[in-house]
Structure 1
Amino acid sequence: MYLKSLEIQGFKSFPEKTRLTFDKPVTAIVGPNGSGKSNISDAILWVMGEQSTRTLRGGKMEDVIFGGTQKRPQLGFAEVSLILDNADHTLDTEFTEVMITRRYYRSGESEYFINRQMVRLKDVNELFMDTGLGREGYSIIGQGRIDAILSIKSTDRREIFEEAAGISRFRHRKEESERKLEHTEENLVRLGDKISELYLQVEPLQKQAETAKKYLLLRDELRGLEISVWMDSLDGLQEQITKTETDYLTALSQKDDVSREIDSYYETSLTFSDKMHEKDVELESVREAVSAQEAQIAEIDSATAVLKANLESNIGESERIRRELTEQEGRDGGIKAQIDERELRLGEISAEKAALSADSARLVGALQSIADTAGESSKRLGDMLSRENTLQEEISEAKSRLSALASKAQEILDRDGTVALDAAAAGEKHRQLEEDMSACADELDAAGDELQRIKNVITGYTMRRDSRKKKADAANDKKMHLTMELNSLKSRIRLLTEMEKDYQGYSKAVKLVMQESQRGILKHVHGTVGSLVQTDDKYAVAIETALGGAMQNIIVDTEEDGKEAINLLKRRDGGRATFLPISTVRGNVLDVPGLKNEPGYEGLAIDLVRSDGRYAGIYRSLLGRVAVAGSLDDAIRIARRHNNSFRIVTLDGQVLNAGGSMTGGSSSSNTGILSRANELKGLSEQEALLAESAARAEREHGEAVRELTASEYELESSGAEMRSLEDKVLKLDTNLRHFEALVSASAENLNAMRAEAENLAERIKANGDETAAARNDIAALESALSELRAQIARDTEGQEQLTSERDRITSALSELRAREASLDAENEALTKAVTELSELREILTGGRRQQMQYLDELKARHDAILKEISDNETALVQLGEKMAAFRARSAAITAEKLELEAARTRRDKVMQEKNHELLELERECARLEQKKLAAQMEEKQIIDRLWDSYEITRSVALTVRQELENPAEARRHISELKRDISSLGTPNIGAIEEFERVNTRYTYLTEQRDDVEKAKRELQEIIRDITQEMRTMFAREFENISLSFKETFLEFFGGGQASLELEDPNDILNCGIEIKVQPPGKALKTITLLSGGEKAFVASALYFSILKVRPTPFVVMDEIDAALDEANVLRFAENMRKMSVKTQMIVITHHRGTMEEADVLYGVTMQEQGVSRVLSIDLAEAEKTLKKDAS
């Protein structure tokens, strides 16, 4: 195996990635002081796992990272990689090439890699063990290593020899085994403590577990019986509910039957009512018929009276008509004379009408001639008038158009004024809207800022809330922790109290006596020796040891009391016990002169305890002659000085008996009874303090919760404010968008108004043009109209003359025609008068005939009235008969109605009785229903009790119930079980599981202790084997190195003697190593007496001798030739060349002689301050080049 290359990046003065290749036997690294060449050897040492910053020439590990210069910043990490050729598998790995990389970050993180796989530092160290490489190897030889060899302390040299002897791996294994052994022993101590503690818990927990198991058995038996009794009750209740349901249904059926009967009676009663109603209707009908007959009678009476009145009127009318017939016979002659007179006048009128007709024809002809002339003139005038009308209409139209244009102009002007006003108002409104929008935007910005502020406040409140929550959680954790500690302490106190109460640790006999004493069976028993004495914790073990078995002795008043207790033990076969009567036991106190002044003397045991004065004699007899010493050495010294004349006990329980015998070792089985009492007292005091701390923690937690609540209230209040602001921002944003829309609409409206104003201006101009044109048209039409009217005036004058002549003729013609009309009217009147007189004459003649007929009619009417009166009288007789019949029917109907009323009364009485029966049945139904409901409620209570007590349903209870032969006996047994359970007190159910857990833990830890003890023995065996192997290997290799050193010394110094010697051959693995040399011509000396150069040369010889025995793949020698003169440098270089056959040599040097032996030179320069650079020269190639140039 050899070193192929080294890659450095960010390490010390190498900020840039630098690669050094080592493919030649000897490589020299040269450069001026301070150039950083030694940083290369530091890099190799560092990558192989060196952890000492002092060895790496730094103050802290961070110093290995490039720290930066004025021109370069510092780097964040340093990385070095070492590439090794492992073809011969010197390293215990399957890879033929191994790259070890170490990377360190400025944050303090460190990483190791083997072939780019992350590993541990331990893996790197183990890889290099026994190869001479690594941080503990001898492959890196620097000034520090030289100093170690040259150290005055011979033990400092061992590390190099151990690595060379190949026992480093074994030493590491041994140290690891010793650490494991130490850890194992610590585990044994801890296991012993835990086993002791668990041992004290097992017995009381076992008793509690047995009590709990008994409780569970009783509880399960009680559960089964209670469930069965309850289910039996449920069966009875179910039968009761079923029977009650049947009775209820029967009563309900009877109630329904009675109800139906009542309904039937009610319907019958309704039938009676209907019949009575029918009778009432029929009676009313009869009464109405009677009333109708009475009305008809009254009507007939009234008609008869009218007929009689008509009869009298008929008689008077007949008398009048006879008188008128007499008067009409004288009037007929006068009417004949009037007719003749009027016919004569009609002849005269006819002659005059003929003359008037001739005159009328003449005038009509003249009128026609005028009419023809006037027609032509009138036609021409009509045309002109028509034209006049047309012109007037045109003028009117033109004026109307002019008026319309004026109106339109006014309308446009009005609209223009309105638009101007509206535009001004819209402009003002637009400006106001823009101001409102701006104000809204400002308010929105302010609200947004306020919202952001409150959000920041909420963030702060949230942080404070979170902080207070953490505080509250921490306070709660503290409270819970203290509560758990307090509960644990209480459990421990309870356990110790139970142990004290149950006399744990005492013998069976002591327990029996003390229990019977507590029950009052034994009198005058005070207690055990151990329970009636107190001492400080410091002396507890010593006092317990001094008392020994007497701890279990029982103090009584007299010998008789002791005798009674002994007899009890005999009767009960309870074992044996020792009793100490107060009345007889006496003791004295040791009095040895000078004892108090002995070093390590603590005092007499009797002086170190406290007890009731009544027991002074007993405790003097037990402790009065026992001294207490601090340690066994103190006890031995005191015993020797006083001739072993009294008993001495040490604080840790060792005993020197009077006479010189010694007792010691681990504590006896009764150890701990007194300590237990002290522990119980201390725990009680600790409980009070812990309870106070728990209460204080509770208050702190409450305060923290209140602060948290306040913070949450602040947060909620701020949240409400934030939500209000968010609503306000949203509302303002909505308002802003609304204002923006209004401003946009207002701008559009304003633009529309401006456009309309421009349009109105154009319309005003067009209207002015149309008005001027209309005025011109009106002037032209009025001129034409004036000319036409002048022509009309001329034509109208001629027309008026024709009209005057026509009026004259028309007037004359009208007079003629008026006379004709007058004659026609008179003729018509006379003709009509003649006709009327003729008709009157005929009427008078016909009227007499009519009056005669009328008289005949009056006579016939007279006879008819008489007959009708007779008929009415007959009808009245018949109606009287009918009235009598109707009255009789009314009486019969009234009697029938009374009978129906009596029947209905009887039926109502029966229905009342049925209603009473129905009420009783309803009460019975209600009672049965209430009874069923009560049974169902009781059933539900039992079902609820099943769930509340045992969390089971009725269906589940059916599966677990038991058949009860005697339910009453079962209930009695339930009471007994409850008493038994109550007598157990409050059982600790968890004790079963806790006992199983503790017992399992106790068994497991016991087994663990056995396993650990076995492992301890095995580790001790391994350590012995490793130690023996190391001794053998070191002895063998040390001898080889010693022989090699003698030879190498001769080679280096050219003579003289040298040897390596172990300071203690019996302890070759730990003793120092002396180096003795005798250079040629000088006396034999140790290495510390040599000069500086001699020391360096001897050290080099020693290293070379080691390399001969245990060669390493490569060696880095950092300026170890610095103290050598030129002659010794040449010898050093010569031997280095020889060694390069087996070991790759890398030397950092200033000496030319050493450089000349190198195959490759690496020059390290620092052209840039603080930054190292590497230049390489292949000397063999350079030599060839020089020889070639020379030839």
Structure 2
Amino acid sequence: MYLAALDLQGFKSFAKKTQLVFTPGVTCVVGPNGSGKSAIADGIRWVLGEQSLKSIRAKRGDEVIFQGSRSRPRLGMAEVSLTLADAETSGLDAAEVVVTRRVDRSGASAYGVNGREVRLFDLAELLVGAGFAQKSYTVIPQGMIDAFVTVSPQERRQMFEDATGVTPLLLKQERTDRKLRETHAQVLRARDLLRELEPRLRSLKRAANRARSRAEVETQLRAAEEQYAVDRWGTYDTLLKELDEKRRAAEEKAAGVSENLARLEAPEQARLSETEKIPELRATLTRLRDQERELFITLTRAEVGGGEDVDRVAEEITARTKEREKLTHELNELHSSLAAAEAKRDRLERELHSAHEALLTPWSGAASLPAEIRQALTELFERASRLAARLRTATRLEELATLVKEAEDLQRALELFGERVRRTLAAPPETGTGRMTVAHRLPLLTQERGDAEQRLTGLRVREAALRERLRAVEERLDVLRRQRASVRETPAPPTELPSRLETVQQDVRAVEAELARLQDVLLRAQAERATMHEEQQRLRNLLHAAEEERTARVVELTEAKTRWDDLLRDVTERLGGDFATRLQRGDAARTPASDPDALRAQIEQLRKKLFEIGGIDPSVLQEEAAVEQRVTEFHTQVADLDAAQKNLKEALKELERHIHERFSTSFQAVNEAFNRTFRDIFGGGRASLSLVKPKPIEHAFPDLPPEEAEGQPVEPHVHELPAGVEIHASPPGKKVQGLAQLSGGEKALTSIALLFAVLSLRASPFVVLDEVDAALDEANSRRFAHLLRQLAERTQFIVITHNRATMEAASALYGVTMGDDGVSQLLSVKLEEVPEGTGRSPGVQARQQVLG
């Protein structure tokens, strides 16, 4: 692999794009001072990733950009590209590799390989892998040759690291050390987090243990409350069933009593319905008898003569009309008598009430009722009874008139009876025995008053009968009027009257028979009514008791259902609606508790425990799990990082061992080559290299506190500083105690001998030498050029020089000039292009051609 081309644009004095094409061998760049020759070496060093501005003779990053001149403005960007040919021979992936670096005025820098942007680190790895020694001998700027012998042994070691091939190992060591420190920083961060999290975890564990205890107590309490709820539910369920059964029994009992009462009252209703037919039958009987009489009269008239019949009918109508008027008058008088009797009855009731109240005072109950009053009352009741019987059987107006007169007499008797009672009750009290008698007789008077009311009721019934009789008379009058009209218009044939009379008489007999039957039924009903009333009263009492019992059962059932609902509401609030639903469906059935009191005591104890535990944030368990997981992860991470640290430390030790072994082996070969090259250049003498080992520094990681890892020892890291390289050189005929005793030319030759010794063992793809031969005289310059030609067979050299002997060793020359615009320009000449026969050597001719 060799450097095929270098493109400069905007870099230092190369304002416009300039390309230098190189071939293997030696290429010399010549030109006057200040023309920009060294800018070519700086460009190569810069594109290879140089970060030290001092190494490329700049103070700021934008100083590498063309600064402008009087005729040219400054540029905003600088770019350098380096083309490597035959790159695959050095382990690269392409035959040609173009490395580019670009920078703008802001200082932003970018790197590229074959047009693809890369990082500086990636570029450094690529170049080291290709055999470039970026920090040592790839580019040797001005003054570096002298630095080889004047720098410290530690700084001089860098060139030997590239020469011995340990640079890749050093880079790997650097990466491993950086990774170790990063790992160590991660361990510190993880342990810092652990120190923060572990106290928090301990606090969370205490809270979580309380939460678990609370959850356990809540589980036990819920189980106990569910058991208690199931027991109470079962008790209420049994009670409700019992109460409901009792309610149904009470209802059935009441229904049975009601049914018996209805069965008892049904015959009475039937009999009453039949007895209600009696007035209707009596009216019918009256009407039939009237028809019978009319037919009989009509028949008689028919036999005697039709005109007489009409006259008789007219007379009868007149008589019936008068009878109706008289009956109406009597009825009105009877009605007035009844009204007066009712008024007197009311007055009698008030007097009886006053007599009852008189018992409460010393003067109210001294006298007893006389026997004649009781006798008179009895007689009045008997007369009323007889009058009622006669009213029931009376059919003619004459009888009704008599009955009305008797009713008036009965009314007057009642008035006299009331007066006597008032006088009796108004008598002053005499003795305590009299008060006892009045108290004893008062219930009898009350009973008699009730009887009198019943009799008055009978009179009202009879009044209704009289009204019915009056209606019948009215109907009879209507019949007679129609008959009279019929007789006058179309007298009936005498042959039909007997048959009609017979029919009416049959109807009369049938109605009389039915009336007799109904009266017999009425008598039997009246006889049975007393017994039936007693049974009805008994059944009503039973019904009342049954209703009260049913009401009591309904009240008990309602109260039990209320307690049931309260229990269900309490269960829903405490144990949730789901359990309440299962309890109602019977899915929550359990074995009843053997000791309900003990169960209640257990519930109270568990509730007390919950109160003692207190409220707990329900999220503490999740937080504890999350923090514990983080602590576990950090412990695992620390363990992994500790293991990684251990592995990295072992890897570092192994790398140090490999570096030491390879460096020691290669260093000896360089030492021998240095001695040979030194003797060739100086024509004798002796030179050697030696390693100067500094004292190892033992330290722990500086940012690790002493209390790290809770008492675990911190393993110290032993960092051995690399051994420095010391140069020993004695030119022929001199005994030199140190390099400082050498002349400038001897120092330069010694440095060149050391550089060529390194290149003889580990050749770089190309080497840039910037005026390294400036301090050499003519003879030493020829020795330098001779060695340069020998090494050019393995390494490409780009030499910036003013030395004629060096130019003669070159196969191509580039001349660099600068015009008035401050921009560097190139002139290139290949030695085979120099005309022959000039009498001068090709190098001299080429130099004269380039420099003009």
Query: How far 1:1041 sits from its partner (Å)?
Result: 1.8
1: CA distance, partners of 2:609 / 2:232: 24
Q: Which residue number in structure 1 is paired with residue 94 of structure 2?
A: 95
User: Is the 8 Å Cα contact of residues 224 and 962 (structure 1) preserved in structure 2?
Assistant: no
Task: Say if 2:603 is the partner of 1:974.
Answer: yes
1: CA distance, partners of 2:11 / 2:589: 86
The code of the aligned residue for 2:137 comes to Y
The code of the aligned residue for 1:51 comes to Q
Task: Say if 2:810 is the partner of 1:1158.
Answer: yes
Query: How far 1:1044 sits from its partner (Å)?
Result: 1.9
User: Is the 8 Å Cα contact of residues 1048 and 1104 (structure 1) preserved in structure 2?
Assistant: yes
- Tell me, what secondary structure is at the counterpart of 1:55? helix
- Tell me, what secondary structure is at the counterpart of 1:150? helix
Q: Which moved more, 1:1075-1084 or 1:918-927?
A: 918-927
Q: Deviations over 1:383-417 (max 9, x none)?
A: xxxxxxxxxxxxxxxxxxxxxxxxxxxxxxxxxxx
Task: Say if 2:25 is the partner of 1:25.
Answer: yes
Q: Which residue number in structure 2 is paired with residue 347 of structure 1?
A: none
Query: How far 1:937 sits from its partner (Å)?
Result: 5.7
Query: How far 1:141 sits from its partner (Å)?
Result: 0.8
User: Is the 8 Å Cα contact of residues 208 and 991 (structure 1) preserved in structure 2?
Assistant: yes
Report the RMSD for the aligned CA atoms in angstroms. 6.1
Query: How far 1:1114 sits from its partner (Å)?
Result: 0.6
Match of 1:965 among 581, 593, 598: 593
- Listed as ranges, the matches of 1:1117-1132 within 5 Å are 1117-1132=769-784
The code of the aligned residue for 2:215 comes to L
TM-score by length of 2: 0.53
Q: Deviations over 1:986-1045 (max 9, x none)?
A: 668777667767777777666666655555554444333333322222222222222222
2: CA distance, partners of 1:1142 / 1:956: 100
Q: Which moved more, 1:68-77 or 1:209-218?
A: 68-77
Query: How far 1:160 sits from its partner (Å)?
Result: 0.9
- The percentage of counterpart residues that share the same residue type is 36
2: CA distance, partners of 1:73 / 1:898: 152
Q: Cα gap change, 1:898/1:144 in structure 2, threshold over 3 Å: closer, same or farther?
A: farther
- Listed as ranges, the matches of 1:153-164 within 5 Å are 153-164=152-163
Query: How far 1:923 sits from its partner (Å)?
Result: 12
Match of 1:1049 among 678, 702, 717: 678
Q: Which residue number in structure 2 is paired with residue 939 of structure 1?
A: 568
Q: Which residue number in structure 1 is paired with residue 429 of structure 2?
A: none
Q: Which residue number in structure 1 is paired with residue 51 of structure 2?
A: 51
Q: Which residue number in structure 2 is paired with residue 1031 of structure 1?
A: 660
2: CA distance, partners of 1:956 / 1:144: 102
Q: Cα gap change, 1:970/1:1052 in structure 2, threshold over 3 Å: closer, same or farther?
A: same
Q: Which residue number in structure 2 is paired with residue 112 of structure 1?
A: 111
2: CA distance, partners of 1:897 / 1:108: 145
User: Is the 8 Å Cα contact of residues 1126 and 1153 (structure 1) preserved in structure 2?
Assistant: yes
1: CA distance, partners of 2:803 / 2:465: 168
1: CA distance, partners of 2:101 / 2:810: 29
Task: Say if 2:26 is the partner of 1:38.
Answer: no
2: CA distance, partners of 1:1091 / 1:106: 44
User: Is the 8 Å Cα contact of residues 133 and 764 (structure 2) preserved in structure 1?
Assistant: no
Q: Which residue number in structure 1 is paired with residue 82 of structure 2?
A: 82
Query: How far 1:1180 sits from its partner (Å)?
Result: 2.4
Q: Cα gap change, 1:227/1:897 in structure 2, threshold over 3 Å: closer, same or farther?
A: farther
The code of the aligned residue for 2:673 comes to S
2: CA distance, partners of 1:942 / 1:48: 85
- Listed as ranges, the matches of 1:1090-1109 within 5 Å are 1090-1109=742-761
Q: Which residue number in structure 2 is paired with residue 1113 of structure 1?
A: 765
2: CA distance, partners of 1:1185 / 1:994: 97
- Listed as ranges, the matches of 1:560-959 within 5 Å are 935-936=564-565, 938-947=567-576, 954=581
Q: Cα gap change, 1:81/1:925 in structure 2, threshold over 3 Å: closer, same or farther?
A: farther
The code of the aligned residue for 2:814 comes to Y
1: CA distance, partners of 2:246 / 2:838: 139
User: Is the 8 Å Cα contact of residues 150 and 1087 (structure 1) preserved in structure 2?
Assistant: yes
Q: Which residue number in structure 2 is paired with residue 358 of structure 1?
A: none
Q: Cα gap change, 1:130/1:1031 in structure 2, threshold over 3 Å: closer, same or farther?
A: farther
User: Is the 8 Å Cα contact of residues 47 and 101 (structure 2) preserved in structure 1?
Assistant: yes
Query: How far 1:1141 sits from its partner (Å)?
Result: 1.0
Q: Deviations over 1:660-683 (max 9, x none)?
A: xxxxxxxxxxxxxxxxxxxxxxxx
2: CA distance, partners of 1:938 / 1:1140: 109
- Listed as ranges, the matches of 1:170-569 within 5 Å are 170-180=169-179, 212-230=211-229, 233=232
The code of the aligned residue for 2:573 comes to D
User: Is the 8 Å Cα contact of residues 767 and 796 (structure 2) preserved in structure 1?
Assistant: yes
Q: Which residue number in structure 1 is paired with residue 517 of structure 2?
A: none
The code of the aligned residue for 2:3 comes to L
Query: How far 1:13 sits from its partner (Å)?
Result: 4.1
Q: Cα gap change, 1:218/1:72 in structure 2, threshold over 3 Å: closer, same or farther?
A: farther
Q: Cα gap change, 1:23/1:936 in structure 2, threshold over 3 Å: closer, same or farther?
A: farther
Q: Which residue number in structure 1 is paired with residue 440 of structure 2?
A: none
User: Is the 8 Å Cα contact of residues 227 and 961 (structure 1) preserved in structure 2?
Assistant: no
Query: How far 1:163 sits from its partner (Å)?
Result: 1.4
Q: Which residue number in structure 1 is paired with residue 134 of structure 2?
A: 135
1: CA distance, partners of 2:105 / 2:550: 103
Query: How far 1:936 sits from its partner (Å)?
Result: 3.8
User: Is the 8 Å Cα contact of residues 72 and 821 (structure 2) preserved in structure 1?
Assistant: no
Whichever structure has more helix as a proportion of its residues is 1
- Tell me, what secondary structure is at the counterpart of 1:23? coil
Q: Cα gap change, 1:895/1:988 in structure 2, threshold over 3 Å: closer, same or farther?
A: closer
The code of the aligned residue for 1:23 comes to T
The code of the aligned residue for 1:1143 comes to T
1: CA distance, partners of 2:829 / 2:587: 100
Runs of at least 5 residues in structure 1 that lack an aligned partner in the other structure: 257-873, 900-913
1: CA distance, partners of 2:234 / 2:116: 79
Q: Deviations over 1:591-633 (max 9, x none)?
A: xxxxxxxxxxxxxxxxxxxxxxxxxxxxxxxxxxxxxxxxxxx
Q: Which residue number in structure 2 is paired with residue 1142 of structure 1?
A: 794
The code of the aligned residue for 2:44 comes to I
User: Is the 8 Å Cα contact of residues 170 and 1026 (structure 1) preserved in structure 2?
Assistant: yes
Q: Cα gap change, 1:896/1:1126 in structure 2, threshold over 3 Å: closer, same or farther?
A: farther
Q: Which residue number in structure 2 is paired with residue 548 of structure 1?
A: none
1: CA distance, partners of 2:143 / 2:776: 16
Task: Say if 2:736 is the partner of 1:1084.
Answer: yes
The code of the aligned residue for 1:1104 comes to F
The code of the aligned residue for 2:794 comes to K
Q: Which residue number in structure 2 is paired with residue 1059 of structure 1?
A: 688
1: CA distance, partners of 2:13 / 2:241: 105
2: CA distance, partners of 1:127 / 1:13: 29
Query: How far 1:1108 sits from its partner (Å)?
Result: 0.9
1: CA distance, partners of 2:107 / 2:659: 37
Q: Cα gap change, 1:972/1:54 in structure 2, threshold over 3 Å: closer, same or farther?
A: same
Query: How far 1:967 sits from its partner (Å)?
Result: 7.2
Q: Cα gap change, 1:125/1:87 in structure 2, threshold over 3 Å: closer, same or farther?
A: closer
Task: Say if 2:700 is the partner of 1:1072.
Answer: no
- Tell me, what secondary structure is at the counterpart of 2:764? coil
Q: Cα gap change, 1:1064/1:896 in structure 2, threshold over 3 Å: closer, same or farther?
A: same
Count of matched residue pairs: 577
Q: Cα gap change, 1:76/1:56 in structure 2, threshold over 3 Å: closer, same or farther?
A: same
Q: Which residue number in structure 1 is paired with residue 123 of structure 2?
A: 124
User: Is the 8 Å Cα contact of residues 143 and 1119 (structure 1) preserved in structure 2?
Assistant: yes
1: CA distance, partners of 2:254 / 2:815: 129
Runs of at least 5 residues in structure 2 that lack an aligned partner in the other structure: 256-313, 333-460, 469-542, 697-719, 846-852
- Tell me, what secondary structure is at the counterpart of 2:54? coil
Q: Which residue number in structure 1 is paired with residue 302 of structure 2?
A: none
Query: How far 1:1186 sits from its partner (Å)?
Result: 9.3
- Tell me, what secondary structure is at the counterpart of 1:1026? helix
